[in-house]
């Protein structure tokens, strides 16, 4: 009964959240466009699906993903577990279990992101195959994996977030000046598509659970910020992907030119 009551509460909250959007769209159509709204019944049914889906999705986060992230973080950072694994009392160097787990979570959830799949399909079609479907997805997923691992390290050692973000964007600025211009907008968009429905809940739960499990860490101060890493490092990895592709093309062109000159 508690589960049903909580679900209904979240569905009602979702309806309140969606209501301003729906009211604005209906008023805009009535005042600006004018006339009757086509397929009004289907639109209303769609809004109902959206509201119910959002409520159940939030319930799933509260009951499953967030507790799972906290549980895994607590188990991975348990001193007895780490002492058994490394043979001595753990230091920040011995939390490689956590870094590896964070990277694996970031990589796997990013590959499953529907928004990234959609962007990869469009990029492959627009570029006539020059940007590979799997190449882009793997490049973005590697960036998220590295970012989440580094973000877990930051939580373990308790260092300020802005040092890492500032250094990361400095790298992005340098890469932007050196990368092929066609890849730059796609790289910047790649940072946004990774922070979507699959990645954000698990990554956020991991950060909060890790901050709660390590003594001396403030969940509000250190627990948040992993999403920023997951948004930043895909930009770096996709720009690197473009630079690598350009370098490969130059090598192939050089080899072809050498072959023609020898012939």
pLDDT tens across 98-150, in order? Answer: 888 889 888 988 887 878 888 888 888 888 777 888 888 999 999 999 999 99
CA-based R_g, the chain, Å: 23
pTM: 0.73
Residue 133: per-residue pLDDT = 86
Give me the pLDDT at residue 86, please.
46
Distance, CA of 260 to CA of 263 (rounded, Å): 5
Question: Residues 177, 181, 186, CA angle at the centre, nearest 5°?
Answer: 110
The 10 Å CB-count burial string (b at 16+, else e) for 76-101 is: bbeeeebeeeeeeebeeebbebbbeb
Q: Where are the alpha helices (DSSP H) in the chain?
A: 2-28, 40-60, 66-76, 79-86, 96-111, 114-126, 133-157, 161-178, 184-193, 199-213, 226-262
* DSSP label of 34: -
The dihedral built from the CA positions of residue 126, 128, 133 and 137, taken in this order, carries a sign that is negative
What residues in the chain have per-residue pLDDT under 50? 85-89
Whole-number pLDDT of residue 144: 93
Provide the pLDDT for residue 239: 93
Q: What pLDDT score does 110 carry? A: 87
What pLDDT sits at residue 169? Answer: 94
């Amino acid at each position: 009964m508690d589960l049903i009551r909580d679900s209904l509460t979240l569905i009602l909250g979702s309806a309140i959240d969606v209501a301003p959007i729906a009211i604005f769209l209906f008023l805009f159509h009535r005042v600006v466009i004018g006339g009757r709204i086509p397929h009004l019944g289907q639109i209303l049914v769609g809004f109902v699906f959206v509201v119910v889906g959002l409520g159940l999705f939030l319930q799933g986060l509260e009951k499953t993903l967030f507790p799972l992230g906290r549980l895994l973080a607590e188990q991975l950072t348990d001193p007895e577990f780490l002492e058994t694994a490394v043979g001595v009392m753990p230091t920040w160097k011995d939390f490689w279990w956590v870094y590896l787990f964070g990277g694996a979570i970031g990589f796997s959830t990013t590959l499953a992101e529907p928004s990234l799949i959609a962007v990869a399909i469009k990029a492959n079609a627009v570029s006539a195959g020059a940007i590979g479907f799997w190449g882009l997805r793997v490049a973005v997923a590697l960036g998220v994996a590295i970012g989440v691992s580094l973000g877990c390290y930051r939580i373990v050692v308790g260092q300020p977030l802005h040092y890492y973000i500032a250094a990361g964007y400095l790298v992005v600025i340098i890469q932007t000046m050196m990368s092929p211009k066609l890849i730059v907008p796609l790289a910047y968009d790649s940072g946004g598509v990774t922070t979507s429905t699959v990645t954000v809940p698990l990554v956020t739960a991991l950060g909060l659970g890790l901050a709660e499990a390590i003594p001396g860490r403030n969940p509000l101060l250190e627990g948040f910020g992993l999403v920023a890493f997951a948004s930043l490092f895909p930009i770096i990895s996709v720009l690197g992907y473009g630079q690598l592709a350009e370098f490969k093309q130059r090598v192939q062109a050089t080899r072809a030119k050498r072959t023609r000159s020898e012939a």
